[in-house]
Homo-oligomer: A and B are copies of this chain.
Amino acid sequence: MNLKDLAALLGLSQTTVSRALNGYPEVSEATRQRVAAAAEKHSYRPNTRAKGLATGRAMAIGHVIPISAQHEMVNPVFGDFIAGAGEAYAAAGYDMVLSLVQDNQEERVYRDMFAKGNVDGIVVHAPEMRDRRIALLLEIGLPFAVHGRASEITTPYNWLDVNNKSAFQRATDFLIDLGHRRIALLNGLETMDFAHRRRAGYVEALLSRDLAVDPQLMRSEEMTETYGYQAVRQMMKLAEPPTAYLVSSMISAIGVRRAIHDAGLVMGRDISVITHDDDLSYLRNGDDVALFTATRSSVRDAGRQLAQILIEQISDPQHAPRTKLLEADLTVGRSTGANTQGR
């Protein structure tokens, strides 16, 4: 059932039917009712492509996920973010188009997306500190919003980020409170903006408590399981090994737990581990458990909010860029399920 059929069926012109369906004021109320009823009855759905061709809008948003050939890994919370964004799109009538891109081909992909006209805007994931995509998108004039930030880029643009610095500062602080003096940081690649900020938080916490920043206790790599495993193995051989680990990713944390397990140590008794993007952390000191709930429901919420920002930008391109900084939920409490004391 297309517009032509529907119009014929009603004895009206396509124009009138189209107007009725799209809420144009000049259609009489009676006609509008008739049209609406018929459309409903035959479950008429306007063809997206035809509509897009005519209006010049795609009614779709692109998400571009960089995948490098070497470390082909998808962030496990990615699905949650997408789910949140998807909700916002569905509510606003947008489709979501996913593109996985070799990170050396990004520029071409962005330009193509624009030229092929199959998206009205783009969400940029995993920005680096001096991310080149931002300048590129501004240049070609494709509306976009960034999940995260690029610290070294000063031009205004839409972004939404979790406060990674304060999250890691608070976590480090908490470990110090528990009595730890040798705290290791297993960070992601510090060309990535989030990783850079996390280290800043960690360092600041140490310094403000007059603790030394020991380069031997800091690692920055692609966040694989092997990385976590190897890093712990090596650090354990130090003259003064760490008593606590702050881990940037739940994937590396798997390796960390394995290494600890291999060494015959017990997490939460001999050693403390706090993991970002994970709901469980192991801490010395009795029953205390720190929960970094930057994951799941809050990531989902972030997706929803960022999508909303982009949708607004698209419908009002004149509007100044919006930015939003969310605080990570680092909750500390007894591990009875209910988390009591916020921190």
Contact = CB atoms under 8 A, between A and B. Distances in A.
Interface of A: 1, 43-50, 52-53, 58, 60, 65, 67, 72-80, 82-83, 86-87, 90, 95-100, 111-112, 115-118, 225-226, 229-230, 254, 257-258, 261-262, 266-268, 278-280, 282, 287, 289, 296-297, 300, 335, 337
B279 A254 contact: yes
A2 B76 CA distance: 40
A45 B113 CA distance: 9
Contact of A115 (B45, B77, B96, B262): B45
Given A96-B99, A99-B90, A280-B258, A79 B83 contact: no
A46 B98 contact: no
Given A43-B115, A95-B118, A96-B99, A287 B267 contact: no
Contacts of A116: 45-48
Contact of A100 (B47, B83, B115, B335): B83
Contact of A76 (B53, B60, B76, B262): B76
Nearest to A334: B262
Contacts of A90: 99-100
A311 to B, nearest CB: 16
A49 B53 contact: yes
Given A43-B111, A96-B99, A112-B45, A267 B278 contact: no
Contact of A118 (B48, B78, B266): B48
Nearest to A262: B335
B95 A96 contact: no
B65 A83 contact: yes
Contact of A49 (B78, B112, B118, B230): B118
Contact of A80 (B50, B74, B112): B74
B53 A50 contact: yes
B280 A262 contact: no
B72 A100 contact: no
A295 to B, nearest CB: 10
B100 A87 contact: yes
Would you list the 4 A-B pairs with minimal beta carbon distance, nearest first?
A: A74-B79, A86-B100, A45-B115, A76-B76
A49 B50 CA distance: 7
Given A43-B115, A45-B116, 8 more contacts: A44-B115, A47-B53, A53-B53, A74-B80, A76-B77, A76-B79, A261-B267, A261-B268
A225 B258 contact: no
Contacts of A118: 48-49, 95
